[in-house]
Structure 1
C-alpha cells in the first residue's frame, strides 16, 4: 500500500477531479467514482446494521468479512486493472447464503422492506448494493471492470435479502408481505 494521508485535506480535488491509485486523475462525477462511492454506501449501511445487532451476534464476523470485501472492491475500482476480489469469495458468499436460507420458510409472496430495525437496515444495504451493481455494469461499458466484482455484488444483494428475512423473523418481527393494490 502506498503512503497514508497524514493531512486529510489536500485541495487537489477543488477543481472537481480526484486521484486514482495509479496516479491518474478523473472527474468526481465519473462513472468509476460513482461506483466507488456507492460501494462505500453499501459498506456504511452494513456497518450501521452491525451496530444495531446485539453484542457478539453470530452474523457479525460474516458481515465484517463482507465489509472488507467491499473495501477491496472499492480498491479495485480505485486502481484500474487491479484485482482483489476472487471467485472464491463468491463461492463463500453463496455457501453462507445457502446456509441462512435453509432455515427460512419458503417465500410465497413479495415482501416489503421492514419487519424489524435490523431487517430494514439490511434491506437498505441490499437496495444500495443493487445500485452499486448497476454502477459497475455502466462502468463496464466504457472501462474494463473485474467481472468477479460485479458478480460479487449480485450475490451480496441476494445474501442481504435473505439475511433481512432472517433478521425480521429472528428479532421477533414479521416479514411485511406485499398486498396487491386491488386487495388492500
Structure 2
C-alpha cells in the first residue's frame, strides 16, 4: 500500500488510546452532531436556529480544549450564561417544575441534546480523574446542558405545545425560585 496507511481506514487518529480523553472527544462530537440535527428541525424559529448553529461550533471548541489549546474563554461562558437567561425569561412559567421530555420533534431533539450534554459532562469528569481539566470547561459543559433544556421548553412554547409536569415518586419535589438581587 505504499509508505503510509490509507486514511480511509482511519475514522479518528486517537481511537486506540487508552486514556479517556478520546472518549470525551467522541462524546462531545456526538453532542455536536445532535445539536446540528436539532438545528435542522428549528429552521422556522430563526433565532433558535442561529443560536444552535453557534453552539455546534462551541461544542467543537470544547472538544479540542482538553487535548489541544484552551478554546473556551471566560467570555464564552458569559455568552452562554446570557443565552440561558434569555431563554429562561421566555420559559419561566414552564420550568418551575420538572417536565417530561416530550412535545414537538424539535423539542424532543433538544432534550436528546440535553442528555448528550450530560454524557459529555460525565466524560469530562472521567478525563479529570486522569489529568487536570480547567474548571471553565466544566462550567461551560454543565451550563450547556441547562441551556439545551430551556431551549427545548422554548421550542414547545413557540409551537404551541404545553409541557407535561413530572412529579417523582422517588424524590421530594423542589421548585425553582427566581433569584432575588
Higher relative strand content: 1
Deviation at 1:12, TM superposition (A): 9.5
Contact 2:101 2:111 in 1 (8 A): yes
Which residue is equivalent to 2:179?
none
Which residue is equivalent to 1:93?
80
Unaligned runs of 5+ in 2: 1-5, 170-181
Unaligned runs of 5+ in 1: 1-6, 20-25
Q: 89, 110, 123: which one pairs with 1:102?
A: 89
TM-score after normalising by structure 1: 0.80
**Within 2, Cα distance between the matches of 1:54 and 1:97?**
20
Higher relative helix content: 2
Q: 163, 166, 178: which one pairs with 1:178?
A: 166
1:74-131 per-residue CA deviation (whole Å, 9 max, x = no partner) reads: 122343xx21111111100111111111122433421111121111100000011011
Deviation at 1:27, TM superposition (A): 3.1
Contact 1:115 1:173 in 2 (8 A): yes
Paired residues, number: 164
Contact 2:27 2:119 in 1 (8 A): yes
**Within 2, Cα distance between the matches of 1:29 and 1:172?**
47
Secondary structure of residue in 1 paired with 2:46:
coil
Map 1:1-184; keep pairs closer than 5 Å: 8-9=7-8, 11=10, 18-19=13-14, 27-28=16-17, 30-55=19-44, 57-79=46-68, 82-106=69-93, 107-180=95-168
TM-score after normalising by structure 2: 0.81
Secondary structure of residue in 2 paired with 1:95:
helix
**Within 1, Cα distance between the matches of 2:45 and 2:166?**
33
Contact 1:116 1:174 in 2 (8 A): no
Which residue is equivalent to 1:3?
none
Structure-2 change in CA distance of 1:55 and 1:141 (3 Å): same
Deviation at 1:35, TM superposition (A): 0.5
Give the root-mean-square deviation of aligned CA atoms.
2.3
